[in-house]
Structure formats: structure tokens, C-alpha cells
């Protein structure tokens, strides 16, 4: 079973992916387009062109997990816009919001790290 933890590093591919691709094809996109090692422990999130489905690729040290979520109706309304970068990083809680077809940038949560102690 795959579990998304706060410590995981999550990358969202900005350009839509060809969902006919499986693990090997998406891993090749990670290397060539996203410029990240698919064996590095990153969680890679891809969206199809009509924005009705997501694929998540992650290597857990023994093998790859490939998860696919297709909405029964509607679309994923939020997706990072195309800029100079090919990827956008998300926090784990933002990925959970995205899985629910919500807007991860509209969520307000405590900062990932904050000092604890007197005077903070």
C-alpha cells in the first residue's frame, strides 16, 4: 500500500501526459522532461489532456507504484500554469486536496516548519 506522508517530496508535471504510457514511459518522462531521477523517492503526479484523470508514480525502494484516479464526472479544475519550469512542488496535504479535485493553493495550513520554544 502506498501512503503519502508529510516527508515525501512531490512533483506535479505541468504539461499533460499521454496516459497510454505505463511505468516505463512515465519514468522516462521523469528523466527527460522533468529532469529528476524516478528512483530518487519523489512522488510524480501527471494529468491527462482532458483533465479528467491523474496518474501517480513513485519508487518505494523495491519497485514502482503506479496509481490512477479518474473522476466519474467533472474535471480537475486546478493545475499549475505553464511557466519556465516543467514541474511544481506540492506538500503532502496539498496532494490530498488535489486528489479530491480541489485547489491545493487555496488551502491554508500551518507552515511545514516553524520554530518551537520561548519567544517564537
Question: Mean pLDDT across the stretch 107-120?
Answer: 72
Question: Mean pLDDT across the stretch 38-59?
Answer: 96
| pTM exceeds 0.95, yes or no | no
**Buried/exposed 43-81: b ≥16 CB within 10 Å, e otherwise:** bbbbbbeebbbbbbbbbeeeeeebeeeeeeeeebeebbe
Residue 90 CA, distance from chain mean position: 7
Mean pLDDT of the chain: 90
Q: What is the distance between the alpha carbons of residues 60 and 64, in angstroms, rounded to a whole number?
A: 6
More confident residue, 104 or 18: 18
Amino acid at each position: 500500500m502506498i501512503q503519502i506522508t508529510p516527508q515525501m517530496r512531490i512533483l506535479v508535471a505541468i504539461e499533460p501526459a499521454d496516459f497510454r504510457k505505463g511505468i516505463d514511459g512515465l519514468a522516462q518522462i521523469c528523466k527527460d522532461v522533468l529532469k529528476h531521477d524516478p528512483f530518487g523517492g519523489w512522488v510524480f503526479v501527471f494529468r491527462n489532456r482532458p483533465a479528467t484523470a491523474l496518474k501517480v508514480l513513485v519508487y518505494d525502494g523495491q519497485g514502482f507504484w503506479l496509481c490512477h484516479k479518474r473522476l466519474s464526472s467533472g474535471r480537475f479544475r486546478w493545475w499549475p500554469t505553464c511557466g519556465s519550469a516543467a514541474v511544481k512542488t506540492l506538500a503532502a496535504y496539498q496532494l490530498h486536496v488535489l486528489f479530491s479535485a480541489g485547489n491545493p493553493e487555496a488551502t491554508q495550513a500551518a507552515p511545514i516548519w516553524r520554530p518551537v520554544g520561548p519567544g517564537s
